[in-house]
A and B are shown apart, each in its own frame.
Chain A
Amino acid sequence: MTFHLQVVTPDGLAFEGEAEKLSVRTQEGVIGILPRHIDYVAPLGMGEAVITDAEGKEHYAACIGGMVAVHNGKVRLVATTFEWAKSIDLARAKEAEQRARSAMERSGISERDLKLAEAKLHRSLVRQAVGKRKY
């Protein structure tokens, strides 16, 4: 049994089709959505999304920000960033990590800039973790 899944990002449609299972990290923790789920809305955190497609194959992606919504059995993953594991540029993520770390170490950094750097660091760590996945 499958359900219809749409993954939308500001860059366009990342995925559309039937899926057996979707697992994402919401702000409350990791949740799994199976077919015939009740109508549901939750904001997303930063983490890994796993889509099990109709053939039972698992696809991994870094999924950051946005929300997941189930409406009448159709699932929409509205993500700020959604990157398939195979398209993550590990070198760039590593670079972003270092940039964020060095920004945080700078003396006299304002609290606001520190928060921004922390968010960037978190983001780059998530991307690296997903990018290193064997898919």
Chain B
Amino acid sequence: MAGVSMKDIKLRIKSMESTKQITKAMEMVAASKLRRAQERIVNSRPYFAILFDTLNTIANDTEQFSSPFLEKREIRKSCYVVIGGDRGLAGGYNSNVLKLAYSQMEGTDACVIPIGKKCLEFFRSRKVEILTDIYAVASDVHVGDCFTMAKMISNGFLKGEFDRDAVVYTNFVSILSQAPALLELLPLEYHPRSGDTDSNCLTLYEPDSATVFDAIIPEYLGGQIYGALCESITSEQGARRTAMDAATKNAEEMISDLSLKYNRARQGAITQEITEIVAGADS
């Protein structure tokens, strides 16, 4: 029998089948996690809407508004929050976002707060300054962590440790497409609404409007980071689902290919046997 023996083919089919089972299971896990992650995004929306609304109202109520967070300085050092995944097998999810982040900071003075194990490894191997590695496991990062991180970032910004802060994350466009994106956090881009309708200056701010504004900013940033984190986690699951779906399909294709080969080999063996028997009977 030419080529591979029947036993070899059978072994390969078996290993292919178990691989397929794994990829199939991973796909289903990713699909259910994806649903949960999408719910999380929807749940968090009203919170940010209200927070943003309040910030706007304060800024509009106060004449000659100024805050150190709005101040644009010469950029000497940037700080990036880079959100990646903990594990691979998610298509181009990690490499896309890391590529974008690295292209941004290459040649400039930058430090990074990595979220996700893959992210931490990437920046560590490239010797980029890492501010803290306590957020290394992306699945352990909770809402509260986002806010402590935001507080740390805003303190650093006020102290002048860095002059710009941005988040690099993956935007969840749809289940099939995720795009890496960069979101500027500090200095805050703020455009006052023109012709505000129901601004009343009778609101009591405790202790005063500027303090309230500056106290809410870290909350707002935390919210933005949390939003980006939610988007990224959803994207990761989406990317993994797609990648695993493709892997399952490939495995199926290979299995059907191999079964065909196996059947041919089997047939060939039978034919050969018959020929041998007939030849034996003839002599």
Say yes or no: A113-B134 contact (C-beta < 8 A), given A27-B215, A80-B144.
Answer: yes
| Residues A116 and B132 in contact in the complex (CB < 8 Å), given A11-B44, A12-B44, A78-B54 | yes
- What does DSSP make chain B's interface, helix, strand, loop or mixed? helix
Report the minimum CB–CB distance from B141 to chain A (whole Å): 12
Indicate whether A40 sits within 8 Å of B206 (C-beta atoms), given known contacts A78-B54, A119-B151.
Answer: yes
Name the one of B47, B134, B151, B226 contacting A78, with C-beta atoms under 8 angstroms.
Answer: B47
Q: Report B-chain residues with C-beta under 8 Å of the C-beta of A119.
A: 148, 151
A15 CB → nearest B CB, Å: 13
Interface residues of A in 49-90 (CB under 8 A from B): 64-67, 69, 71, 76, 78, 80-81
Question: What per-residue 1/0 map shows which CB atoms of B36-48 lie under 8 Å from chain A?
Answer: 0000100110111
Chain A residue at smallest Cβ distance from B201: A39
Task: Please report the number of residue pairs spanning A and B whose Cβ atoms sit closer than 8 angstroms.
Answer: 94
CB proximity to B under 8 Å, residues A72-120: 76, 78, 80-81, 110, 112-113, 115-116, 119-120
Name A120's contact: one of B40, B46, B148, B215 (CB within 8 Å).
B148
Contact with B along A33-46 (1 / 0, CB 8 A): 00000111111000
B152 adjacent to chain A (CB < 8 Å): yes
| Neighbouring A residues of B151 by C-beta, 8 Å | 119
Q: Say whether, besides A41-B58, A43-B212, A78-B54, A116 and B152 are in contact (CB < 8 Å).
A: yes
**Chain B positions within 8 Å of A27 at CB level:** 215
- Which chain B residues lie closer than 8 Å to A112 at the CB level? 131-132, 152
A8 within 8 A of B: yes
Q: Do residues A41 and B205 form an inter-chain contact, with CB atoms below 8 A?
A: yes
- B215 near A43 (CB under 8 angstroms)? yes
Q: Is A9 an interface residue (CB 8 A)?
A: yes
CA distance A8 to B50 in the complex (A): 9
Known contacts being A10-B47, A67-B212, is A26 close to B206, with CB within 8 Å?
yes
Closest Cβ neighbor of A66 among chain B residues: B219
Does any Cβ of A come within 8 Å of B262's Cβ?
Answer: no
Closest to A27 in B: B215
Task: Chain A residues near B206: list those with CB within 8 A.
Answer: 26, 28, 31, 40-42
Determine if A39 and B223 form an interchain contact, defined as CB atoms under 8 angstroms apart: no
Q: What band does the interface of chain B fall in when counting residues whose beta carbon is under 8 Å from A?
A: 20 to 34
The docked-state distance in angstroms from the alpha carbon of A26 to that of B205 is 12
Q: A8 to B132, Cβ gap below 8 A?
A: no
Using CB atoms, name the residue of chain A closest to B202: A39
Q: Tell me the bound Cα distance from A71 to B198 in angstroms.
A: 11
User: Interface code B221-239, partner A: CB below 8 Å = 1, 0 otherwise?
Assistant: 0110010000000000000
A129 within 8 A of B: no
B147 at the interface (CB under 8 A from A): yes
Task: Give the complex CA separation of A78 and B147 in angstroms.
Answer: 13
Residues A39 and B204 in contact in the complex (CB < 8 Å), given A67-B212, A112-B132: yes
Say whether, besides A41-B206, A78-B50, A80-B144, A67 and B152 are in contact (CB < 8 Å).
no
Which 4 residue pairs are nearest across A and B when measured between Cβ atoms?
Answer: A43-B215, A12-B43, A39-B203, A42-B206
Binding site for A on B (CB under 8 A): 40, 43-44, 46-48, 50-51, 54, 58, 131-132, 134, 143-144, 147-148, 151-152, 200, 202-207, 211-212, 215-216, 219, 222-223, 226
What are 10 of the A-B contact pairs (CB < 8 Å)? A8-B50, A10-B223, A12-B46, A26-B206, A39-B203, A40-B204, A64-B144, A65-B219, A78-B50, A116-B134
Q: A39-B203, A43-B211, A81-B144 are in contact. List 9 more A-B contacts (CB 8 A).
A: A12-B46, A38-B203, A39-B204, A41-B58, A67-B54, A69-B50, A110-B132, A113-B134, A120-B148
